[in-house]
Amino acid sequence: MIVGLHHYLVLAAILLVCGIVTMLIKRNAIGILMGVELILNAANVNLVAFNHYLPADSGIRLDGQIFALFVIVLAAAEAAIALAIILSFYNNFASIDVEKASNLKG
């Protein structure tokens, strides 16, 4: 079987759906964060696959790969900040269950 662009796109779509489902059903804050990472990786698969398969107008096409690198870096930064905030939440609530975050409403 020859692996083509479509295979990558389907893989990315499956990752996207997995990520969205994870975000929707998880009650654990770190679980939701994992769902976010899945979606970001779905975008990365897309970007790198498109970069490889799209025709280059002039010279070499690199923008998709550069974009993917930036997404990886920012995903790490976002995870660092989210984990710090989750830790602060844990210090106050002794739990990371997002159902507990129900003091603010209305």
Partner 1 sequence: MSSTLAIIGSPFIPGWDQLGAFLPELVLVAAIVGVLITPFFTERRNFACAVVALVGLVGAFVSVFAVAGEDGAYFRGLLVSDSLAVLWKGLLLLFTAGIVLMWIGTMAEAMREGDGPEFFTLLLGATLGMSLMASTTNLLMIFLVVELASLPSYVLAGFRKTHRLGAEASLKYVLFGAATSSIMVYGLSLAYGLYGTLDLAKIAEQMAVPGAQHVLLAVVLIGLIAGIGFKISAVPFHFWCPDVFEGAHVDVAAFLSVASKGAALVLLLRMVMLIGSAAGFEASAVTVSLAWTLGILGAVTATWGNLAAFAQTNIKRLLAYSSIAHAGYMVCALSLLVARRNEAPAADAAQAVILYLAVYLFMNLGAFTIAALVWRQTGSEQIADFSGLGRRAPIAAAVMTACLFSLVGLPPLAGFAAKLVLMKVLFDNGGWWTVLVFVIGINTVLSLYYYLRIVKVMYLQDRGEDVLGGPILPRVIGVACAAMLVIMLIGFGSLDRLTRDAGRIHDTNSSVAAVK
The site for partner 1 (CB under 8 A) is made up of 9, 12, 16, 19-20, 23, 29, 32-33, 35-37, 39-40, 42-44, 46-47, 49-50, 54-55, 57, 63-64, 66-67, 70-71, 74, 77-78, 81-82, 84-86, 88-89, 91-93, 98, 101, 103-106
Nearer to partner 1, 10 or 70 (CB): 70
Instruction: Say how far apart CA 14 and CA 49 lie, in whole Å.
Output: 15
Contact criterion met (CB below 8 Å) for 13 and 84: no
Distance from the Cα of residue 15 to its chain's centroid = 9
Provide the residue count of the chain.
Answer: 106
Q: How near is the Cβ of 60 to partner 1 at its closest, in Å? A: 14
